[in-house]
Amino acid sequence: MKLATPESVGFSSQRLARINTKLQHYIDEHKLAGITSLIARRGQVVHFEKFGMANIEAGTPMAADTIFRIYSMTKPITSVAVLMLFEEGALRLNDPVATYLPEFKETKVLNQAGWLVDMARPVTIRDLLTHTAGLSYGFQGNFAIDRLYSQHVWGPMANNPTINLAEWIGAIAQQPLSFQPGTRYQYSVATDVLGYLVQVVAGVSFADFLQERIFAPLGMVDTCFAVPPEKLACFAANYGPQEGGGLKVIDIPADSQYARPTVRPSGGGGLLSTTGDYLRFAQMLLNKGELDGVRLLGRKTVELMTTNHLADGVYVDNDPIKGLGFGLGVSVLLNLGKGQTLGSVGNYGWGGAANTNFWVDPQEDLIGILMLQFMPSGTYPVIDDFRILTYQSLVD
């Protein structure tokens, strides 16, 4: 990947070097195995650095073609797929999901008194895109809902590779909603339901739709739901904290579920990708739907996607201090002071469970991407450090 001179697009080379120093400290202190970081502005990459190891046990260093589990950074890609179908007139955002997935017609709501009640209105596609449908991940602190998801969604599904996407979404539809649709934000399996929606509406497998309509046109050659055998050496190991300090491996590439084909591709968290591939996706969004002559979305659709859709007083994680709203598949920074970091109002993006993260800043014509493989997310402030160090490097 050819790098532009930082000064040519308004960065200070001297200040950018602070990123290398800080991220290398995470490696030297044995907190993280490896990191790649990328910054692009005005369509030019000015920083693409690799630190540490992709696979300590195999002695494989981080490289430009290292493949990462991007987990929830899958969600913006799935959301783009839905919006492509929206633009083609195949669906409307305010359509009830049950119009296409009838298994959601009889879904109930578990009210605060513990009773199952009817939905006040149907769950819509927009509700799924904004995580306001009332669905759950099964670990949000609602004991009754969490127990049901554990028993009926994750337990039997996670350990049975033969259960397909339709069966999995059917099990989700049988669980009650945590609240009436549209009334709150709750991060959930909603985007997995959207992946199945794409499959049903498009009439092709969800994985094939992404490959044929997004990855191939954008040249995302290493983004997939399963690493092919010939690229397994590029697949990073995933790590967690070792008791007493240091790192322990929690997912070895050769034994990983991501090294095997799946019949249950997760639109909410199942993709693998490289830093370079995800840059192409992010640059398409920053370009308002187009990259290198290939247009996936119209500019007004990207504007709709990256605008806050949450009601007044509703925030991501129901936390007004963060100042984050939510668009159609991406968070949106509403208030710079409440965000408590450097950036711009209107920044949008998302992250993944293994501390991968990306953001797009339309005001500054800037993209930041951080890739690593360490769980749980948020153990270290590496994402905040990278973002702050990126913005302090801007001088023009």
Helix %, strand %, coil % of the chain (to 5):
40, 20, 45
pLDDT by position in tens, the chain (length 396): 789 999 999 999 999 999 999 999 999 999 999 999 999 999 999 999 999 999 999 999 999 999 999 999 999 999 999 999 999 999 999 999 999 999 999 999 999 899 999 999 999 999 999 999 999 998 888 889 999 999 999 887 776 888 999 999 999 999 999 999 999 999 999 999 999 999 999 999 999 999 999 999 999 999 999 999 999 999 999 999 999 889 999 999 999 999 999 999 999 999 999 999 999 999 999 999 999 999 999 999 999 999 999 998 888 887 777 789 999 999 999 988 887 889 999 999 999 999 999 999 999 999 999 999 999 999 999 999 999 999 999 999
**Cα separation, 291 vs 218, whole angstroms:** 7
Are 233 and 312 contained in the same domain?
A: yes
In this structure, the answer to whether residues 69 and 96 fall within a common structural domain is no
Cα 257 to Cα 255: distance, rounded to the nearest angstrom: 7
Residue 361 near residue 349 (C-beta atoms within 8 A): no
Same domain (yes/no): 333, 380: yes
Cα–Cα dist 354/71, whole Å: 7
- Helix (H) / strand (E) containing 192: helix 190-202
**The last residue of a domain, from among 167, 201, 235:** 201
Q: Measured between alpha carbons, how far is 396 from 393 in angstroms, rounded to an integer?
A: 9
Please tell me whether residue 365 adopts helix, strand or coil conformation.
coil
- Closest Cα to residue 306, out of 295, 297, 294, 318? 297
Query: Which CATH number covers residue 152?
Result: 1.20.58
Structure-block tokens of residue 201:
């509406």
- Measured distance CA(388)–CA(392) in Å, rounded: 6
- Residue 258: what residue type? Y
Q: Give the helix/strand (H/E) hosting 20.
A: helix 13-28
Q: Which domain holds residue 296?
A: 6-76+207-391
- State the amino acid at position 143 in one-letter form: F
CA 200 to chain centre: 22
84 domain-assigned: no
